């Protein structure tokens, strides 16, 4: 027996939220903890190398030495900002590693099952006309799902108004199914989900780590080379 449009939509909403709140954050943390240090080092060295090259270029153009450092700061401000942002994300991943909480398999099944049931009762796709109370309640339910808080979700489920009816409109469901399928496609083809293949494939994992190590080693050699050229100029 084929599932109804209503069931298909609910399952897609659940898949979408599971990707956003559970699967992708874990992939991102695993990726950052596996490669973040090397990527930060490679990016930092790349910035340093490009700054030295640019310093030499500006010097040869006759720029005032007293102004070159300020010019470089301005030119590389965005790159340095991106590096600092990435380093901050790595720090957060390290913090989460020490505080990560996992539900037991049975409790995780209960969390997923209860959330799927509550999608029918309060998700806007099934309840387009909601009171402020219902909107706030569902936001708290989503937060409980995101944080694996089964106890809170069970408590919140009790607060759902009695006699809540589910919206029925196949045309609306078809449109929503198409939209959510697109959102799921977008997630699976962007960061961090697109790093899953590297994490899951031992050969790709090792090859990428070797590639990063080669980049770092090569950048150190180039920085030394260009650093000597700069010393000769000034």
Condensed to tens digits (0 to 9), the pLDDT of residues 211-223 reads 999 999 999 999 9
Q: Is 2's pLDDT higher than 90?
A: no
Predicted pLDDT of residue 1: 39
What is the mean pLDDT of the segment spanning 174-183? 95
What is the mean pLDDT of the segment spanning 107-131? 91
What is the mean pLDDT of the segment spanning 134-155? 96
Predicted pLDDT of residue 102: 73
- Give the pTM: 0.89
Residue 109 Cα distances to 43, 114, 116, 147, 207, angstroms: 41, 8, 11, 14, 36
Q: Is 171's pLDDT higher than 80?
A: yes
What is the mean pLDDT of the segment spanning 74-102? 90
Buried b (16+ CB within 10 A) or exposed e, 177-204: beebeebbeebeeeebbebbebbeeeee
Predicted pLDDT of residue 100: 61
CA distance 223 to 47: 10
Predicted pLDDT of residue 161: 80
Q: Alpha helices of the chain — where are they, by DSSP H?
A: 5-18, 24-60, 65-75, 77-99, 105-122, 132-146, 150-158, 170-188, 196-200, 202-233
Q: What is the mean pLDDT of the chain?
A: 93
What is the mean pLDDT of the segment spanning 98-120? 88
What is the mean pLDDT of the segment spanning 50-78? 95
Q: Is 204's pLDDT higher than 90?
A: yes
What is the mean pLDDT of the segment spanning 160-178? 81
Predicted pLDDT of residue 3: 74
């Amino acid at each position: 027996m084929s599932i109804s449009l209503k069931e298909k939509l609910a399952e897609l909403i659940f898949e979408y939220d599971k990707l956003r709140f559970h699967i992708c954050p874990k992939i991102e943390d695993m990726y950052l903890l596996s490669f973040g240090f090397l990527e930060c080092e490679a990016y930092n060295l790349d910035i340093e190398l490009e700054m030295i090259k640019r310093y030499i270029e500006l010097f040869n153009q006759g720029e005032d030495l007293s102004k070159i450092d300020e010019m470089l700061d301005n030119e590389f401000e965005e790159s340095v900002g991106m590096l600092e942002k990435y380093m901050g994300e790595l720090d957060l991943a390290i913090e989460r590693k020490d505080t990560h909480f996992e539900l037991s398999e049975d409790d995780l099944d209960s969390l997923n099952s209860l959330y799927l049931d509550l999608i029918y009762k309060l998700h806007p796709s099934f309840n387009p006309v909601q009171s402020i109370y219902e909107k706030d309640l569902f936001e708290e339910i989503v937060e409980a799902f995101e944080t694996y808080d089964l106890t809170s979700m069970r408590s919140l489920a009790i607060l759902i108004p009695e006699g809540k009816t589910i919206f029925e409109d196949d045309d609306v469901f078809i449109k929503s199914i198409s939209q959510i399928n697109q959102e799921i496609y977008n997630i699976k083809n962007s960061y961090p989900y697109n790093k899953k293949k590297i994490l899951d494939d031992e050969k790709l994992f090792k090859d990428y780590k070797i590639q990063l190590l080669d980049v770092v080693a090569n950048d150190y050699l180039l920085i030394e080379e260009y650093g000597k050229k700069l010393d000769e100029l000034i």
